[in-house]
């Protein structure tokens, strides 16, 4: 079994978590999911993890009202699980300074635009695709980047370009970009795992 241990941080349905999990089950997979962490106790990501015997935890301001204590608790759990890489996939909370420092260069995020365009604070979900369409961009697609203290500002590792169709809507663009994320993110994680081993 692969010893490159991945933690996925997710707040909602966890579709990228599902794509990563399916990829991790392939015979050639160089990584495995060792933890799913959510700030939302009722998230689909946690439900999926529990249904598939992936260690899961709800950690948030509900469980740890003090932000520093929450950050420390997350760091402790990551160390206990011997995590090699953190993937934030639809995780709607800041990563705390302890976690950022302890896992510097080992936290990646998937963002639904070609960064640095349409990134930064407030740029998530529909807002990203609305911004793409309003700008008149002819090409868009997801990016995977290193997480730093500043939103969407870390180095980009990989991108997948998609043409913006003339009749594109926010809904159609969101659907196509999400499908591309499900291919790009597992590919990046596999590549990082292969090069780490």
pLDDT in tens, 93-102: 999 999 999 9
Burial classification of residue 190, based on how many CB atoms lie within 10 Å of its CB (0-12 exposed, 13-18 middle, 19 or more buried): buried
| Residues 121, 94 contacting (CB under 8 angstroms) | no
**Which residue in 21, 111, 118, 129 is the catalytic one?**
111
Residue-wise pLDDT for 133-174, tens only, equals 999 999 999 999 999 999 999 999 999 999 999 999 999 999
* pTM for the full predicted model: 0.96
16 is in an annotated binding site: yes
The CATH classification number of 4-111+142-159+184-196 equals 3.40.50.170
Residue-wise DSSP of 163-181: EPPTT--HHHHHHHHHHHH
- What DSSP line would sit under 31-52, residue for residue? EEEEEEEES-TT-HHHHHHHHT
The verdict on whether 111 is a catalytic residue reads: yes
14 is in an annotated binding site: yes
């Amino acid at each position: 079994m692969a010893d490159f241990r991945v933690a996925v941080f997710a707040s909602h349905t966890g579709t990228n978590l599902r794509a990563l999990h399916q990829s991790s089950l392939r015979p050639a997979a160089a990584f495995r999911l060792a933890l799913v962490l959510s700030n939302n106790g009722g998230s689909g990501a946690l439900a999926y993890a529990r249904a598939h015997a992936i260690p899961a935890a709800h950690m948030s301001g509900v469980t740890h009202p003090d932000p520093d204590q929450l950050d420390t608790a997350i760091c402790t759990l990551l160390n206990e699980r011997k995590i090699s890489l953190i993937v934030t996939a639809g995780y709607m909370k800041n990563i705390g300074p302890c976690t950022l420092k302890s896992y510097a260069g080992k936290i990646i995020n998937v963002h639904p635009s070609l960064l640095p365009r349409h990134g930064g604070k407030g740029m998530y979900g529909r807002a990203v695709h609305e911004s793409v369409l309003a700008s008149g961009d002819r090409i868009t697609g997801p990016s995977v980047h290193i997480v730093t203290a500043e939103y969407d500002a870390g180095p980009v590792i990989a991108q997948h370009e998609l043409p913006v169709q003339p009749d594109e809507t926010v809904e159609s663009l969101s659907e196509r970009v999400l499908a591309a994320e499900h291919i790009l993110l597992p590919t990046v994680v596999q590549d990082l795992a292969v090069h780490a081993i």
